[in-house]
Amino acid sequence: MTVKTLILRAPGTNCDAEAMFAFQQAGAEVSLVHINQLIRREERLANYQIMVIPGGFTYGDDVAAGKILANELKLKLGEEIPEFVAEGKLILGLCNGFQVLVKAGFLPENSGLPLLTLATNDSGKFECRWVYLSVNQQSPCVFTRGIDSLYLPVAHGEGKLVTLADTLSSLNVVFYYTDEQGDTNAGYPYNPNGSARNIAGICDSTGRILGLMPHPERHLRGTQHPQWTRLGAKEYGDGFPIFRNAVEWAKTI
């Protein structure tokens, strides 16, 4: 079975090529699709098994990061996306894509209302560097099967996960920021933005909608690790298994 992946584009998207390459390397057939093509029904979401909202600064992050694209998805594709998920398909939001998913109300659950937000980093500046992550082994996430920890880059100014206590306790946390020893309580700079409980990514209750602030699409090859000449290069970068898992899962739909 050929898995068809849609990489959603909008004005300001700038990580679409990396996301496309990641899924191509994982064996998927990939299409770059502009949001207006979906709105005009020139492309149909139903024709794909995976939808990806990549990183960038959609619509210049005016109003708030990801907010305008979130409104377009909610108001103009609000019925198609829940149908897409109900059919067992996958959605992946990377950095700005994570911001879009939470502000559209598709994460943490398809409530139609944003239950959390990703606010300005505590540092008050754009954080662009590598971080350590641990994977919550109790998470239902299908993207992270067989993965324990990762080393990935971040690049964001609004990545601080903020929500009410009731929502925070019910989140399906997938990724935590850690230090080199895996301490999930490590503070800045290991937690680059001040997210509550060091949360770096979450999924919905099905495990098929995933959003995270770090960029797995930027660590697909071993030679992309910043210390590969010292430590030696692995065959694949830490981010690649996320895309491989998604494609393998989609083959079962």
Per DSSP, 249 falls in state: H
Q: Which of 156, 215, 219, 225 is catalytic?
A: 215
Closest CA to 172 of 89, 245, 81, 107: 107
Closest CA to 75 of 103, 115, 46: 103
Closest CA to 219 of 130, 145, 102: 130
215 belongs to the catalytic site: yes
Strands 4-9 and 29-34 come out as: parallel
**C-alpha distance from residue 209 to each of 53, 81, 144, 181 (Å):** 11, 11, 12, 28
Rg (CA), the chain: 17
- Name the one residue in this structure whose structure tokens are 């949360």: 199
Q: Which of 18, 43, 72, 95 is catalytic?
A: 95
95 belongs to the catalytic site: yes
Q: Which of 43, 217, 219, 225 is catalytic?
A: 217
Distance from first CA to last CA of the chain, Å, rounded? 10
Backbone torsions φ then ψ of 229, nearest 5 degrees: -70, -25
Would you please indicate which residues are annotated as catalytic (active-site) residues? 95, 215, 217
